[in-house]
Each structure stands twice: as C-alpha cells, then as structure tokens.
Amino acid sequence: MFPRYYNNDWIKFDNWVKENPPKIIFKRELLKKDVSDTIKPIEYPCIIAPWPVQSKEEFNSRPIDYFQYWGRSNEHRLRIHGEIWLDAYKRGYQVCDNLYYVTDYLRNEHGKKAISLWIPHYARTDISSLMSINNLSKLSLSWEGAGQKCFRTSGEAGVNSVLVMHKNNLAWAHDWNETNCILVENGKEIEGIEAALANPNLYEIYKKCVENTDRYRTGRYISEYIMPLINKYA
C-alpha cells in the first residue's frame, strides 16, 4: 500500500468497500479484455457546444492539414512536436507553434500547413479560440496525457475535425475505430498523418467522428450510457 494512503480513514474506507462491493464499476483506463457485466469503460464528457458539419467542399478546402495543442503531461507530445518540425524541414511544411501568430501565419504562409501549440497549464487559453483553429484543420491530434485517454479524445478534437490518436487496446463507451477516427502507430505518427490526408474517405470519417463526439456530450452521455447501466443494477 502507498504510504500516503496508509492511515485509519483510508483503511476504514477500504474495508467498507470490501464488505460492500460495488454493483458496477466505471473505469477510465479499461482494456477491452477486462470489460465485464460489472466493469464498464468511462471517458471525459464533451462540454463544448456543437459546431455545424461542413460540406465536403468546405472540409477539403480547410487551410490547415493538422493541428495539435498540448501540455507536457506526456513526453510523447514533446517528441511528436519535434518530429512535426523535422518533417517540415524534410518536406517543406509550414509550421506555426505560437498561438498569437496563427492569423498572420494563415495569411502569409503558403503550401502545406500544420499548427502545433505548446500551451502549458500556467498559460491556458479559452477553448473556443482553439476550437476555431480546430475548425480550420482537417486533422486534430490527441496523444496520451497522464493516461492514455485525455480530455481531447472524447471531448474536444472530434467536435469539428478528425480525431487522430495512437492505436490502442482500450475499451470505450462509444467505440473509436477506423470508421470514425484516425489510428496511427506509436513512433510513426507523421506517416500515419500523411496516409490519413491522402485517404479518399477522410470526409466520411470526419462526419462519423463528429457524430461519435456528440454521443459524449454530457446530456446524451449521462442519459444514454451511464444511467441505463446504473439503473440496470439499482
């Protein structure tokens, strides 16, 4: 047992749970193989208002190929940011990594564009500003944070763009798969992104991604997923 939890109050609670086992457990970092009748996956909900779904012509004309905003809660994010810049060197991408340059960047730069914004916890910005940029990007990248699932995965990236994340063996309340997001190999993110941008079905994936994200909106998520499971055991 971790020392910080080794106290009388924690021991009392631990014993109470053992004597009164829960009828159902919701677990965020749940593997598909561990799902059972009494152990179900749960994610962060989406609290962002819906954005209009664009036409295929509007989506295909978005000026940004891919977009990410990230804090340093996982070192993979730092690595991928560096590889985005390295790919710009190799293939002539234009990259913006400063939130305050975005407007002039889009106005002045030409060719393929990517945006990767490091936004640490002490410099947070309003999510509506980030969603406005997200709406200009074909792909929205969501990598692991403190856990494999993060706020962007179910609540932000897919609101108005195509969610991109690492392939995984996680269970989801509403499944993420090749039909509604882009799954890439860890360590081969740039290759996966380029393949996605060349995918002729990307617009269809975009529509299904937005649709699946809507299932995670707080009202629907509670009424259609969480409460039916709780009521089943009430």
pLDDT digits (tens, 9 = 90+) for 41-90: 999 999 999 999 999 999 999 999 999 999 999 999 999 999 999 999 99
Residue 156, pLDDT above cutoff 90: yes
* pLDDT at site 228: 96
Confidence (pLDDT) at 3: 63
Long-range contacts formed by 145-154: CB under 8 A, 24+ apart: 145/71, 145/73, 145/74, 145/77, 146/73, 146/74, 147/28, 147/29, 148/29, 149/28, 149/29, 149/43, 149/44, 150/44, 150/73, 151/44, 153/43, 153/44, 154/43, 154/44, 154/45, 154/46, 154/213, 154/216
| Mean pLDDT over each residue of the chain, to the nearest integer | 95
Specify the CATH class of 56-215 in words.
Answer: alpha beta
Mean pLDDT of 114-138: 96
Q: Looking up tokens 């020392």, which residue turns up? A: 3
Phi, psi of 104 (to 5 degrees): -70, -30
- Please tell me the predicted confidence (pLDDT) of residue 7: 76
Q: What is the pLDDT of residue 113?
A: 98
**Model confidence, pTM:** 0.92
Q: Model confidence at 4, in pLDDT bands (50, 70, 90)?
A: low
Is the per-residue pLDDT at 198 higher than 80?
Answer: yes
- Label residue 14 by pLDDT band (50, 70, 90): confident
Mean predicted confidence (pLDDT) in 116-137: 95
Q: What is the 3-state secondary structure (H, E, C) of the chain?
A: CCHHHCCHHHHHHHHHHHHCCCCCEEECCCEHHHCCCCEEECCCCECCCCCCCCCHHHHHCCCEEEEEEECCCCHHHHHHHHHHHHHHHHHCCEEECCHHHHHHHHHHCCCCEEEEEECCHHHCCCHHHHHHHHCCEEEEECCCCCCCCCHHHHHCHHHCCEEEEECCCECCCCCCCCCCCEEECCCCHHHHHHHHHCCCCHHHHHHHHHHHHHHCEHHHHHHHHHHHHHHHCC
Mean pLDDT computed over 120-136: 95
Q: Are 105 and 85 in contact (CB under 8 A)?
A: no
Asked whether the predicted pLDDT for residue 191 surpasses 60, the reply is yes
